[in-house]
């Protein structure tokens, strides 16, 4: 770990780290886990592909009809107008016609059925008059090869189908099945251990004593980690006691690729997370130039990556989305990409002091004129969890911004890009 950034929380004179700098340092530092596993296609849903997939077949494997109609030889179109052809058989999807179509002949053909030898063009049945075993049609405007799907039109033998790092969604399962792949190598799931710290935290189901609040971070983290497709262990609430915090860290580092805690990373008198981490691991305490979420601890505990999130519930969620989620994605083998951020028109003024990037919570919607519009969720305190629940996006106000007036364009980051359902 870089010593120049160490302990910057304890030294308020130290420069704040920008969100981009913090995210880049984190991404540079975290490893991609090494282990893969072989899974049946269905079990691989939402997992991360760990091998390139090359097609062993053409898709479609044979030329076939895109319409229900008649397969003809295009050269017959120049014989007469209207043109008359004899029907000599039928090609069904899955049951091909085995003969050859010769001059003056055609066959009845269904969508997806093999194009017979000799035929090269399909007439839609709506453009044809049928009389017994004959058809008659106007040949003007019939194009050679129309309504035929060629072998390999979608994917050719030897062509790359998917690259490693792709998350296998419904389309990818279908695509892999279409090239006959039934088993696939994926990264194993990342293992995360997490716990909350704080003597004031009560578990739900017990009445609150004086000075207590319910532990909400463990539930929000449960949701965030579930949506990120991760194996996790919830180690509960750890009291603000040096020995208890130390034991929890050892236990967590033993079982996980990534250890996540909330609370105790500020400079309060009962914040044992920071000093325990200095004793057991390689840790940086960063003051991030962001709001909410200023203190963030990041480093290593044995072989595990460690994040100490702030205790305030909104700060914990914002820092998870902005720093932990990119790290989780990289560690789990996912191809990295830029976050989805775009401009929307502000429906109300937004207050902000210059200095730190703010992640205000907003409601994004389409306005009557078809453009995107965003409105604030109201109270923006880092303890106001309701602001996250009402929101469907972050409003990103850059460090130098002094707020926004009504009608001004601001940057938004929709929650759906951050794995929310």
User: Shortest approach of Mg ion to residue 367 CB, angstroms?
Assistant: 42
User: Does 274 sit near ligand AMP (CB under 6 A)?
Assistant: no
* Partner touching 302 among Mg ion, ligand AMP, none, CB below 5 to 8 Å by kind: none
User: Does 266 sit near ligand AMP (CB under 6 A)?
Assistant: yes
> Closer to ligand AMP at the Cβ: 76 or 215?
215
> Closer to ligand AMP at the Cβ: 207 or 370?
207
User: Does 312 sit near ligand AMP (CB under 6 A)?
Assistant: yes
Query: How many chain residues interact with Mg ion (CB under 5 A)?
Result: 4
DSSP assignment of 184-202: EEEEPPPEEEEEEE-TTEE
User: Does 333 sit near ligand AMP (CB under 6 A)?
Assistant: no
Question: ∠ at Cα 116 (111, 117), nearest 5°?
Answer: 155
User: Does 217 sit near ligand AMP (CB under 6 A)?
Assistant: yes
User: Does 198 sit near Mg ion (CB under 5 A)?
Assistant: yes
User: Does 64 sit near ligand AMP (CB under 6 A)?
Assistant: no
Q: Quote the DSSP letter at residue 74.
A: G
Q: Is 332 exposed, middle or buried (0-12, 13-18, 19+ CB in 10 A)?
A: buried
> Closer to ligand AMP at the Cβ: 208 or 213?
213
Residues 373-412 that bind ligand AMP (CB under 6 A): none
Q: Which two tokens stand for residue 320?
A: 């998870």
> For residues 105 and 133, what is the distance between their CA atoms, to the nearest angstrom?
10
When binding is defined by CB under 6 A, the residue of 64, 105, 121, 262 that contacts ligand AMP is 262
The residue nearest ligand AMP at its CB is: 311
Strands 69-72, 105-109: parallel, antiparallel or unpaired by DSSP?
antiparallel
> For residues 310 and 389, what is the distance between their CA atoms, to the nearest angstrom?
19
User: Shortest approach of ligand AMP to residue 224 CB, angstroms?
Assistant: 13
Are 186 and 175 within 8 A, CB to CB? Answer: no
Residues 6+ apart with CB under 8 A from 284: 1, 2, 5, 6, 7, 8, 297, 298, 299
What is the per-residue burial (b if ≥16 Cβ within 10 Å, else e) of 180-218? ebeebebbbbbbbbbbbbbebbbeeeeeeeeeeeebbbb
When binding is defined by CB under 6 A, the residue of 196, 274, 284, 387 that contacts ligand AMP is 196
> For residues 106 and 77, what is the distance between their CA atoms, to the nearest angstrom?
12
User: Does 216 sit near ligand AMP (CB under 6 A)?
Assistant: yes
User: Does 313 sit near Mg ion (CB under 5 A)?
Assistant: no
Strands 83-91, 134-137: parallel, antiparallel or unpaired by DSSP?
antiparallel
> For residues 319 and 388, what is the distance between their CA atoms, to the nearest angstrom?
13
User: Does 213 sit near ligand AMP (CB under 6 A)?
Assistant: yes
> Closer to Mg ion at the Cβ: 263 or 326?
263
User: Does 268 sit near ligand AMP (CB under 6 A)?
Assistant: yes
> Closer to ligand AMP at the Cβ: 217 or 276?
217
Q: Which two tokens stand for residue 128?
A: 């044809």
Helices (H) and strands (E) in the chain, counts: 8, 28
Q: Which two tokens stand for residue 415?
A: 């929650």
Residues 6+ apart with CB under 8 A from 281: 249, 253, 299, 300, 301, 302, 306
Which H or E run contains 33?
A: none
User: Does 261 sit near ligand AMP (CB under 6 A)?
Assistant: no
> Closer to ligand AMP at the Cβ: 312 or 357?
312
Choose one: 8-16, 67-75, 311-319, 411-419; the region binding ligand AMP (CB under 6 A).
311-319
When binding is defined by CB under 6 A, the residue of 311, 332, 362, 414 that contacts ligand AMP is 311
* Partner touching 16 among ligand AMP, Mg ion, none, CB below 5 to 8 Å by kind: none
Q: Which residues bind ligand AMP (CB under 6 A)?
A: 196, 198, 200-201, 213, 215-217, 262-266, 268, 310-313
Residues in contact with Mg ion by the rule CB under 5 A: 198, 263-264, 311
């Amino acid at each position: 770990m870089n010593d120049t950034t160490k302990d910057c929380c304890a030294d308020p004179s130290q420069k704040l780290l920008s969100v981009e700098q913090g995210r880049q340092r984190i991404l540079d530092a975290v490893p991609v886990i090494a282990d893969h596993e072989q899974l049946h296609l269905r079990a691989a849903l939402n997992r991360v592909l760990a091998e390139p997939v090359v097609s062993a077949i053409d898709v479609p494997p044979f030329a076939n009809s895109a319409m229900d109609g008649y397969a003809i030889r295009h050269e017959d179109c120049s014989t007469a107008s209207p043109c008359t052809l004899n029907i000599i058989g039928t090609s069904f999807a899955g049951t091909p016609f085995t003969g050859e179509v010769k001059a003056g002949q055609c066959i009845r053909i269904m969508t997806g059925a093999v194009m017979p030898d000799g035929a090269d063009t399909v007439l839609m049945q709506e453009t044809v008059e049928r009389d017994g075993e004959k058809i008659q049609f106007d040949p003007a405007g019939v194009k050679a090869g129309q309504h035929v799907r060629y072998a390999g039109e979608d994917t050719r033998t030897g062509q790359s189908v998917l690259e490693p790092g792709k998350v296998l969604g419904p389309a990818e399962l279908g695509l892999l099945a279409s090239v006959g792949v039934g088993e696939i190598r994926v990264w194993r799931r990342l293992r995360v251990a997490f716990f909350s710290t704080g003597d004031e935290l009560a578990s739900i189901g017990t009445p609150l004593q004086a000075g207590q609040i319910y532990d909400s971070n463990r539930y929000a983290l449960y949701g965030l980690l579930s949506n990120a497709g991760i194996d996790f262990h919830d180690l509960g609430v750890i009291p603000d006691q040096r020995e208890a915090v130390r034991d929890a860290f050892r236990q967590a580092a033993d079982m996980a690729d990534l250890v996540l805690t909330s609370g105790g990373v500020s400079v309060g008198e009962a914040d044992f997370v920071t000093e325990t981490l200095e004793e057991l691991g390689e840790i940086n305490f960063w003051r991030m130039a962001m709001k909410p979420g200023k203190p963030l601890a990041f480093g290593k505990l044995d072989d595990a990556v460690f994040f100490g999130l702030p205790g305030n519930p909104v700060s914990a969620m914002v820092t998870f989305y902005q720093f932990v989620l990119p790290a989780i994605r990289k560690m789990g083998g996912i191809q990295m990409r830029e976050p989805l951020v775009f401009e929307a028109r502000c429906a109300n003024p937004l207050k902000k002091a210059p200095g730190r990037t703010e992640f205000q919570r907003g409601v994004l919607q389409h306005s009557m004129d078809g453009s995107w519009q965003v409105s604030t969720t109201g109270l923006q305190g880092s303890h106001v969890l309701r602001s996250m629940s009402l929101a469907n996006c972050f409003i990103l106000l850059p460090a130098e911004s002094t707020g926004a007036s009504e009608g001004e364009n601001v940057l938004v980051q929709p929650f759906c890009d951050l794995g929310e359902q």
